[in-house]
Structure 1
Amino acid sequence: MAQNSWFPQERKRGARGWFHVLWVGIVLFLVTTFVMLWTGNPNLYPTVIMIGNFLIPVVFVTFLYDHQHLSRLTPEIITKSFILGGILGVLGATVLESILLPAPSNPDQGLSLMGGFAVGLIEEASKILAVIFLARRMEHRQAIDGLLIGAAVGMGFAALESTGYAFTSFLLNQGHVGASLFTTVLRGLFAPFGHGTWTAILAAVLFRQSTSNNRFRITGLVFVTYLFVSILHGLWNGLPNTIYLVIPPGIPIPLISLLIGIVGLATLSVMYVRARRRRTLPPTANPI
């Protein structure tokens, strides 16, 4: 139909592209891990860790993109948001945390509940500022656009952060590859419940509240949503994990983190459905 000509990239995208990315990534991760362990070649370690930590974030963003069919966002924009937005978010959070948070007396003890909330506030602010920077020149009419950019930025942040955690685990365990692989797998399983979900929720609300004058508006609803995702983030970081579910092949899943993640993912699902229903055709479709 003529009215759809505003979206030249709008075509029926395959809804299973994410599944193709998933199984190809799993095969590559298993093969490279096996070859690294079999040959004992340490040069493969960065490849294994990068594949393992980027796989689920990329699949998550691909899944969302596959299931929306009326958006101005192209794969190039999503990729740019994932890479550049993730880097900007990590850099911003690192600088702010080093300035605003005291150095822990015992890093092995993890974060306290108040420390977890402080980190949540800082990291969610850093990621949404990256979203605002990337989308500063685009029209803020569609909540689905904000949701997708937010998910891409959040998952880019998650992939880089998980890679850092895997490397830290490698160093703390005197170069023991098994500990690093365990960290990679565990954080990969939890990736859909964390950064990408929280930033997607906040960015969707921000875009929905900024539909006039092509400027972002920090309304009361945006601020409340920021506090909501920061609280989820803080609880994720600060609550003690004492109860675990063990899944094959013996991977312990913290029950509290799982419940917090389900709350966030359920919220995102509701917002995703509403964002698709509220889509409207703008008079122009300017890219970022």
Structure 2
Amino acid sequence: MKSKWYNDGFQFLDFVWTGVRRNYDNLDDTIAKRLGEKVDETNEQVEIHLSKMFSSVFKWHTKDEADRIFIAGTKATTPGLRKVSSRPVKPCFFTRVFLVLALSFTMLMLLLYLFGSDKAIPGMIFIGSLAVPFSLLMMFFEINVYQNVSFLQVMQTFLVGGILSLLVTMLFYLLLPIQTNISIESALLVGVVEELAKTVVIILFINAYKLNYIFNGVLIGAAVGAGFSVFESSGYVSEYGLVTIYTRSFQAIGTHTIWAAIIGGAIILGKVRKKPFTLRDFVTKPRFFVFLLIAIGLHTLWDWDIPGTGLATSITEELIVVVIGWFLIFVMIDAGLREVRTLQGQLIVKKKKRGGHKVG
């Protein structure tokens, strides 16, 4: 009987993996069609390797390199499309941001536990809630190879978007009262409400900034999700005590920031290029809707405490959610790099056409 469960489980995982790979491999066609290009079946896929992606983390970097990253997004510092890199992304400075925040949190802990200073508690709540989500946000800021979104815009989206998404969530909760139990129905309803609230806010900011690239959508989504995560975690401390900050800080590596980043990228994939995302896009674009449903599913699994199980099962659930979430982030990164190649290919074709007319 046990062997049958294992076999059925592996068959199901194989089925799911096959479906995911099929969608993943078709992203080239989706991007090309969205940009109005003919599908090139010989187009080489962009390779994504964890070891390569984070290979620059432990290398020495100068202050000038950091300055170039954080002054991006202005008229003077946004590169033209020809200068945008389609090489594998290698973010690194987000780890420096995390180390600064982690060091700050450690010093606040010393104030509290060594010297008994209760004045350190508000700082611990804020820095503890901020450390992981904001560091992830900085990673997505680095990954935005177009460098067309400024740090000021990111911070506006992080603060205003994070709080606005909580306000929209509360509005939805008024319409759909949530029961505080551990049932799958309750977890699903929470997932639907919170992910839809973030989606609405992400769409508002993407449309307001007139953004059109996958990396832009991922960044704006991450900003809204990070803000949501920080303010939500801070609120939970008042309800469940300071110990909450220790668990939620590390759990943030695979929750709201990641889910919202996935949705942000999917919004770009689902909208007409150089046009705002509309209500019609929301209900008629299956690829966007699939990613939204996956985000809701991940949120539901994260919140659901399976009856009759213990801590080991809960940790396993969380690990599954984190792995799937990050896999989809790499799918978005891959899609974003392919989009750069497609757009740059369009420029080459247009240049050749103009050249041909001149000769004639």
Closer, same or farther: CA 21–6 of 1 in aligned 2, 3 Å: closer
Residue by residue, what CA displacement relative to the aligned partner does 1:134-175 show, whole Å, maximum 9, x if unpaired? 2223334211100110011111101111111122112xxxxx
Residue by residue, what CA displacement relative to the aligned partner does 1:222-277 show, whole Å, maximum 9, x if unpaired? 222211111111111114362439xxxxxxx8121111121111111111121122
Residue 228 of structure 1 is aligned with which of 270, 294, 311?
Answer: 294
RMSD (CA atoms): 2.6
Q: d(CA) in 1 for partners of 2:144 and 2:257? A: 17
Say yes or no: does 1:158 pair with 2:229: yes
Aligned residues of 1:194 and 1:261 also touching (Cα < 8 A): yes
Residue by residue, what CA displacement relative to the aligned partner does 1:174-226 show, whole Å, maximum 9, x if unpaired? xxxxxx1x321211111121111111111111112213352202222222221
The unaligned stretches of length 5 or more in structure 1 are 105-109, 171-179, 246-252, 284-288
SS in structure 1 at match of 2:275: coil
Q: Where in structure 2 are the equivalents of 1:260-279 lying within 5 Å?
A: 260-279=321-340
Residue by residue, what CA displacement relative to the aligned partner does 1:105-129 show, whole Å, maximum 9, x if unpaired? xxxxx53111111010110010011
Closer, same or farther: CA 212–113 of 1 in aligned 2, 3 Å: same
Q: What is the Cα deviation at residue 7 of structure 1?
A: 7.4
- Out of 116-125 and 33-42, give the one that drifted further: 33-42
Q: Where in structure 2 are the equivalents of 1:185-200 lying within 5 Å?
A: 185-200=246-261
Which segments of structure 1 move beyond 6 Å, counting only runs of 4 or more?
Answer: 11-14
Closer, same or farther: CA 271–7 of 1 in aligned 2, 3 Å: farther
Residue 143 of structure 1 is aligned with which of 205, 214, 233?
Answer: 214
Closer, same or farther: CA 115–19 of 1 in aligned 2, 3 Å: same
Residue by residue, what CA displacement relative to the aligned partner does 1:30-83 show, whole Å, maximum 9, x if unpaired? 101111222322222111110001111110011122233223111111111111
Q: d(CA) in 2 for partners of 1:37 and 1:56? A: 22
The TM-score, its normalising length taken from structure 1, stands at 0.81
Closer, same or farther: CA 7–226 of 1 in aligned 2, 3 Å: farther
Aligned residues of 1:144 and 1:275 also touching (Cα < 8 A): yes
Counterpart residue number, 2:153: 77
Say yes or no: does 1:183 pair with 2:244: yes
SS in structure 1 at match of 2:221: helix
Identity %: 22
Counterpart residue number, 1:168: 239
Closer, same or farther: CA 140–22 of 1 in aligned 2, 3 Å: closer
Q: d(CA) in 1 for partners of 2:274 and 2:142? A: 30
Q: What is the Cα deviation at residue 88 of structure 1?
A: 0.7
Residue 270 of structure 2 is aligned with which of 209, 231, 249?
Answer: 209
Aligned residues of 1:127 and 1:199 also touching (Cα < 8 A): yes
Q: d(CA) in 2 for partners of 1:101 and 1:165? A: 19
Counterpart residue number, 2:303: 237
Residue 8 of structure 1 is aligned with which of 67, 77, 82?
Answer: 77
Counterpart residue number, 1:90: 166
Aligned residues of 2:154 and 2:223 also touching (Cα < 8 A): yes
SS in structure 1 at match of 2:209: coil
Q: d(CA) in 1 for partners of 2:197 and 2:229? A: 13
The amino acid across from 1:220 in the alignment is P
Q: d(CA) in 2 for partners of 1:204 and 1:122? A: 19
Closer, same or farther: CA 7–260 of 1 in aligned 2, 3 Å: farther
Q: Which has the larger radius of gyration?
A: 2
Say yes or no: does 1:134 pair with 2:205: yes
Aligned residues of 2:134 and 2:226 also touching (Cα < 8 A): yes
Q: d(CA) in 2 for partners of 1:212 and 1:15? A: 27
The amino acid across from 1:168 in the alignment is E
The unaligned stretches of length 5 or more in structure 2 are 1-73, 348-360
Q: d(CA) in 1 for partners of 2:90 and 2:274? A: 35
The TM-score, its normalising length taken from structure 2, stands at 0.66
SS in structure 2 at match of 1:265: helix
Aligned residues of 2:214 and 2:265 also touching (Cα < 8 A): yes
Aligned residues of 2:225 and 2:260 also touching (Cα < 8 A): yes
Q: d(CA) in 1 for partners of 2:190 and 2:177? A: 8
